[in-house]
Amino acid sequence: MKAVAPTLIGGLFLPATIAATPPDEPVPPSVYTYGYGFGAKDDGTEGNAPTNDPTVQGAPPEGPQRLAPYECENAGGDVQVCEPEERGGGSAAPAPSELAATEWRRLPIPAPSVRTAPPRGSDGLVGLPEWFWVTNWKTMTGRAAARGVWANVVAQPQSMTIDPGDGRGVVRCTGPGTAYDESHRASRQRTDCSYTYSQSSARERSGAYRVRVTVVWGGTWTGSDGSNGVLPPLSRSTTFRLRVAEAQGLYGRGDR
pLDDT at 188: 84
> 141, 134, 140: which is closest to 175 by C-alpha?
134
Q: Write the CATH number for 137.
A: 2.60.40.10
pLDDT at 80: 58
The answer to whether residue 237 sits within a structural domain is: yes
Per-residue pLDDT at 102 exceeds 80: yes
pLDDT at 255: 36
CB contact at 8 A, 44 and 29: no
Q: Summarize pLDDT for 138-152 with one digit per residue, the tens.
A: 999 999 999 999 999
- DSSP assignment of 141-155 equals EEEEEETTEEEEEEE
Range 177-193 average pLDDT: 89
Least confident of 66-70, 176-180, 188-192, 227-231: 66-70
Residue 160: domain span: 94-255
Confidence at 79, pLDDT banded by 50, 70, 90:
low
Which helix (DSSP H) or strand (DSSP E) does residue 45 occupy? none
Q: How many domains does the chain have?
A: 1
Range 220-236 average pLDDT: 97
Per-residue pLDDT at 127 exceeds 90: yes
The answer to whether residue 36 sits within a structural domain is: no
Provide the 3-class DSSP secondary structure of residue 160: strand
Per-residue pLDDT at 120 exceeds 60: yes
Which residues, in sequence order, are CB contacts of 168 under 8 Å at separation 6+? 198
Per-residue pLDDT at 249 exceeds 70: no
Tell me the percentage of the chain whose pLDDT exceeds 90. 53
- d(CA 212, CA 236) in angstroms, rounded, equals 10
Pairwise pLDDT comparison (195 vs 24), residue with the higher score: 195
CB contact at 8 A, 49 and 42: no
Range 4-12 average pLDDT: 49
The answer to whether residue 105 sits within a structural domain is: yes
Range 16-29 average pLDDT: 50
The answer to whether residue 50 sits within a structural domain is: no
The answer to whether residue 216 sits within a structural domain is: yes
pLDDT at 45: 41
The answer to whether residue 58 sits within a structural domain is: no
**What torsion do the CA atoms of 231, 172, 121, 138 make, to the nearest 10 degrees?**
30
- Which is it for strands 244-245 and 124-125: parallel, antiparallel or unpaired? parallel
The answer to whether residue 103 sits within a structural domain is: yes
Range 225-235 average pLDDT: 96
The answer to whether residue 86 sits within a structural domain is: no
Per-residue pLDDT at 201 exceeds 70: yes
Per-residue pLDDT at 21 exceeds 80: no
